[in-house]
Amino acid sequence: MPDQVCVNSTSNLERKFLNSAIHCLLVTAFVLTVVPVGFCDTAGDYFASALVKEVKGDWDGAIADYNKAIALKPDLAEAYDNRGIIEETKGDLKDAIADHTKAIGLKPNSPNAYYNRAIAERAKGDWDGAIADDTRAIELKLNSANAYYNRGIAKQAKGDWGSAIADYNKAIELKPDLADAYDNRGQAKQSNGDWSGAIADHTKAIELKPNSVNAYYNRGFAKQEKGDWDGAIGDETKAIELKPRWAAPYLARGNAKRHKGDWSGAIADYNTAIELEPNWADSYYRRAIAKQEKGDWNSAIADYTKAIELEPNSADTYYTRGNAKRHKDDWDGAIDDYNKAIELKPNSADTYNTRGIAKQTKGDWGGAVADYDKAIELKPDWADAYDNRGIAKQSNGDWIGAIADHTKAIELKPNSVNAYYNRGIAKQAKGDWGGAVADYNKAIELKPDWAEAYDNRGSAKQGNGDWIGAIADHTKAIEFKPNSADSYYTRGNAKQGKRDFKGAIADYNKAIELKPDLVEAYVNRGMSKEARRDRKGAMADYNKAIEFKPNSADAYYARGFAKQRKGDSDGAMADYNKAIELNPDHYASYSARTDLLPAPYGPNAVSFDNQSGEPALVKLIGPTSTEIVVLNGKKEAVKTEPGTYSIKIRYGIQGKYRYSKGQEFKVEGIGLGTPVSSTTITLHKVVNGNYQTSPINEQEFGESGSASTVIKIK
């Protein structure tokens, strides 16, 4: 069967940074001078001394003085508030929030205490608390750009991009030179998909603050999203120049280089990012992608594994490692990774779809269909999932279901070249040659240089007996893919159908030259040679085919047929038997073997007319016992001795058999001499017709019955 096209997809992870919140250091109106520490004797003196130490970075000394000020004046709200700022700076968020809360309790209308507590809450990840406190500070008339700016950060962290932008707008209105507000607004615009607006804001931030490493980094990120890889590389390079030991711009620049196809440059940047931040899972993840795109699957898998070690709950990393394993044909390993990704992220349609592809490749059609079902449930308008499910159904012999799925894919994605191509394959397998040709026409219209579509259309035209049109299509495929053994092989088939055996042999020669183990080309070349009476050459080709593929039922059948024509009945029978052993559904071998049954058996005839809609294997049980294959719509006869007979029938194809047993009937006659009787049994779709049957199981079908004479096949 021609190759089908599966679609799968990937996920992206990126990293961005917000500028920090701005503190409000409180200085009360009554503290106007700095007093040497040794002379402090009032709360105000200690408060002033603490301020000096705080400005100098002597956090512990400042806290000690605030403690003394509070001891002397327990209701000094400003001392609690400022001490809270230092505690937050030192990372002691719990005590910081407690001190700001104490300040608010002492001075409920102090906007600064709310403002500062919001910063500590934001550092703790309490976005709602931070927003509430910033809002309260603003209500208390803290008409500060910083309050709006800080509240914007909290809203942005919550994913409320529009409201964050509104706060940054207000901060900029109050303080037009606040570079960080432009930079953060740019990030909010990025998150909202406004890349041009983001770049404009980051550019303004750089204009106001030329050495802002964050602004260059973030603008580079925005340029990447717009596909301006060179601009992104330039900005990240500037960020690295300003802050050489910061891993983030190396990681971002590596991403831009990877998108440009500069795998080595990207990997070098990821290496530096890993050197600077050995525990960043994302750097390993990105380096793995670059290695994967370079074709270095083993090293990519090692990097994904390291990323998983650092971040065990990343569904995306399991997913992409599964993809790398799939490219190495490690289907079980890939499925294990997809399983883990689904466990971590149960609603990922992508992962179900890709796991379906892996199961399909392993031949687990039912499992594949179940995964595509889930992908479609999660994403009902996903054309590719319908298309892939159609392929799985085709592989399972469900041509009608496959056609329905490909049709749905086309309805959702009218220009899906794969869906037309795959539906053409399904129609072709169903024998709908005209419908297949129409679908291949559309696929070729959408993708005029697709060699496989021309080849498949040629094969469909062959099925319709249009040998000239088929040859033209295969020739076109060869024009696009001059080294395609399959195209020469299929054109050879068309020439053989046109009885141009010499031309067919030439094409089979070329196919074999390009692909020396193409067994089918040897078999068909043998047939063409036989048609040209080169029986020795034909036999050599059949032998070669069997040498390359000892389990080829077609090769044994073809050689058996050649032996039969040479009069070697025993050799022919042995080859037909081998073909049937290799493929129990090889009906041509059954039919040919029946012609070799030994005489003398009576001149009486029992005919089987198959109208069931499926191929049938009939076991005749009685004085003459044998098996005969009757293809759907065909009629086959067996010569028999007179006597009482019954039959057992196996309908369908391997994996989908059903069995029945018929009532006894008599064949009248004298056994030797002139024919005296002819019996016809019609095999119907239902248990009906001129002969009564009833269902049996596989075991009953295999039992030999009570034949008085059994024809033994050599």
In a domain, 448, yes or no: no
**CA 424-427-428 angle, 5° bins:** 85
Strand order in the sheet with 678-683: 635-640, 604-610, 678-683
The residues, ordered by sequence, that sit 6+ positions from 183 with a Cβ below 8 Å of its Cβ are 19, 201, 202, 205, 212, 214, 215, 218
In a domain, 465, yes or no: no
In a domain, 183, yes or no: yes
Task: Give the residues across from 651 on adjacent strands.
Answer: 616, 658
User: Which pLDDT tens digit goes with each residue over 157-180?
Assistant: 999 999 999 999 999 999 999 999
Q: Residue 608: pLDDT band by 50, 70, 90 thresholds?
A: confident
The pTM for the full model equals 0.71
Greater confidence, 617 or 69? Answer: 69
User: Which pLDDT tens digit goes with each residue over 113-126?
Assistant: 999 999 999 999 99
The pLDDT of 494-512, averaged and rounded, is 96
Residue 351: alpha-carbon gap to chain centroid: 6
User: Which pLDDT tens digit goes with each residue over 547-587?
Assistant: 999 999 999 999 999 998 888 989 998 998 899 899 887 87
> What is the distance between the alpha carbons of residues 147 and 23, in angstroms, rounded to a whole number?
9
User: Among candidates 665, 645, 661, which has minimal Cα distance to 698?
Assistant: 661
Q: Residue 37: pLDDT band by 50, 70, 90 thresholds?
A: very low
How many C-beta neighbours within 10 Å does residue 630 have?
24
Q: Residue 669: pLDDT band by 50, 70, 90 thresholds?
A: low
Greater confidence, 15 or 317? Answer: 317
Task: Give the residues across from 605 on adjacent strands.
Answer: 639, 678
> What is the distance between the alpha carbons of residues 87 and 659, in angstroms, rounded to a whole number?
83
In a domain, 407, yes or no: no
User: Among candidates 378, 328, 332, which has minimal Cα distance to 355?
Assistant: 332
Peptide linkage before 600 cis (omega within 30 of 0): yes
Place of tokens 């999932």: 385
For the domain that residue 217 is a member of, what is the CATH number? Answer: 1.25.40.10
In a domain, 554, yes or no: no
In a domain, 338, yes or no: yes
> What is the distance between the alpha carbons of residues 463 and 476, in angstroms, rounded to a whole number?
18
In a domain, 224, yes or no: yes
In a domain, 26, yes or no: no
Domain ends where: 365, 392, 419?
A: 392
For the domain that residue 684 is a member of, what is the CATH number? Answer: 2.60.40.1120
User: Which pLDDT tens digit goes with each residue over 186-240?
Assistant: 999 999 999 999 999 999 999 999 999 999 999 999 999 999 999 999 999 999 9
Domain ends where: 373, 392, 411?
A: 392
> What is the distance between the alpha carbons of residues 161 and 18, in angstroms, rounded to a whole number?
13
> What is the distance between the alpha carbons of residues 390 and 369, in angstroms, rounded to a whole number?
8
Domain boundaries, position 349: 37-392
Is residue 7's pLDDT more than 70? no
Is residue 2's pLDDT more than 80? no
Which backbone phi and psi does 329 adopt, to 5 degrees? 65, 20
Task: Look at residue 19 in the predicted model and tell me its pLDDT.
Answer: 43
Peptide linkage before 2 cis (omega within 30 of 0): no
Domain ends where: 362, 392, 422?
A: 392
User: Which pLDDT tens digit goes with each residue over 304-356?
Assistant: 999 999 999 999 999 999 999 999 999 999 999 999 999 999 999 999 999 99
- Type of residue at 688: N
**Number of domains comprising the chain:** 2
Task: Look at residue 464 in the predicted model and tell me its pLDDT.
Answer: 86
What percent of the chain has pLDDT above 90? 71
